[in-house]
């Protein structure tokens, strides 16, 4: 391809620890190669509305440990807005972009994959605390979320033991139980419930009763927000769909806690971690992974690897086709879940 002079960077979907690390790395790598970097504000909405900010070494200085994204984000889907795709194409050309780096999860990168097929030069960077994107061992943001959830579980252990209570901890995980399993194992949870395995409430209560019979008068139950009971649906906060067809989940923890208390008679309390898992400073692991992804994204552009996504394979950063990465969600490794079951009850 012709010499790259100008690239854009956008962050879409839910905010995530490590996004600023990607932005910083991509800008620094681009600038060192004589390439101008332009920030697209608020995800795809910014490219539709032509909202931008110039990015250079000074503007990205000091953002490495900062959570969230300095570019802002949104759940805007150009394919759901009248004329959205055409405006994206027009502004891409009008801003004189040679290429674009899109940081996001299944929804943002799903749009990216479609736009690539329509002729736009875009590469993807995998971002989600849920770790449910295929074709990459880990997404940045996941390690931070797991550490936050683990610390919360550690703290709940002491109050649960003091009051002889069951503590139900609801963590994020719409379709996949990666956070629940990793944080549950690390935090010593007594039961872990995930979207991939329907909840058998009788089995859960039996495990808790057996534990109480052994003299353990408290228990920790970790449940992913997308988990559901046998012959039941996911629990939602709102029926209204977002631009990508998702309802807002939430409430499984309270429903589970009520059922446990009703069936066992054990005092039960519920803690919903929610957006706490997404906020704050990223861990060292996520900073390094996001930095490597940001550097790789610029290299992919220079090598004309459009329609591809940066990926962690073992300890190597490589690239994979975007349509393959977003074609199927990566659900929990059931071998890992079976390990966690050894410690149930």
Catalytic residues: 130
Nearest to 137 by CA among 285, 37, 278, 36: 285
3-state SS, residue 287: helix
* Burial grade of 294 (CB within 10 A; 0-12, 13-18, 19 or more): buried
Q: What does the alpha-carbon distance between residue 225 and residue 217 come to, in Å, rounded to a whole number? A: 26
- C-alpha to C-alpha distance for 268 and 251, rounded to whole angstroms: 15
Q: Which two tokens stand for residue 160?
A: 């649960």
DSSP H/E element including 106:
helix 106-117
Contact 40, 47 (CB under 8 A): yes
Tokens 């499984």 sit at which residue?
A: 252
Closest CA to 102 of 81, 133, 143: 133
């Amino acid at each position: 391809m012709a010499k790259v002079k100008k690239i854009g960077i956008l962050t879409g979907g839910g905010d995530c620890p490590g996004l600023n690390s990607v932005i910083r790395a991509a800008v620094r790598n681009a600038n060192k190669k004589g390439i101008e970097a332009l920030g697209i504000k608020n995800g795809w909405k910014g490219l539709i509305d032509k909202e931008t900010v110039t990015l250079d070494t000074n503007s990205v200085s000091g953002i490495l440990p900062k959570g969230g994204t300095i570019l802002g984000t949104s759940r805007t889907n150009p394919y759901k807005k009248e004329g959205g795709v055409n405006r994206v194409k027009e502004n891409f050309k009008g801003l004189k972009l040679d290429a674009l780096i899109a940081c996001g999860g299944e929804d943002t990168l799903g749009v990216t994959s479609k736009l690539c097929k329509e002729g736009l030069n875009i590469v993807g960077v995998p971002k989600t605390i849920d770790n449910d994107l295929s074709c990459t061992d880990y997404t940045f943001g996941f390690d931070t979320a797991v550490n936050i959830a683990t610390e919360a579980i550690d703290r709940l252990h002491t109050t649960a033991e003091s009051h002889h209570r069951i503590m139900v901890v609801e963590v994020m995980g719409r379709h996949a139980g990666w956070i629940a399993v990793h944080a549950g194992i690390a935090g010593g949870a007594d039961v872990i419930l995930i979207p991939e395995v329907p909840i058998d409430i009788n089995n859960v209560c039996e495990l808790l009763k057996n534990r109480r019979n052994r003299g353990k008068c408290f228990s920790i139950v970790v449940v992913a927000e997308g988990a559901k009971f046998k012959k039941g649906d996911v629990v939602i906060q709102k029926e209204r769909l977002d631009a990508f067809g998702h309802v807002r989940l939430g409430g499984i923890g309270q429903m589970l806690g009520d059922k446990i208390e009703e069936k066992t008679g054990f005092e039960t309390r519920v803690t919903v971690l929610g957006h706490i898992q997404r906020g704050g400073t990223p861990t060292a692991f996520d900073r390094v992974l996001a930095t490597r992804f940001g550097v790789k994204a610029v290299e992919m552009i220079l090598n004309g690897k459009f329609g591809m996504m940066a990926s962690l394979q073992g300890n190597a950063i490589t690239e994979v086709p975007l349509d393959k990465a977003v074609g199927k969600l990566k659900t929990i490794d059931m071998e890992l879940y079976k390990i966690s079951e050894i410690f149930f009850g």
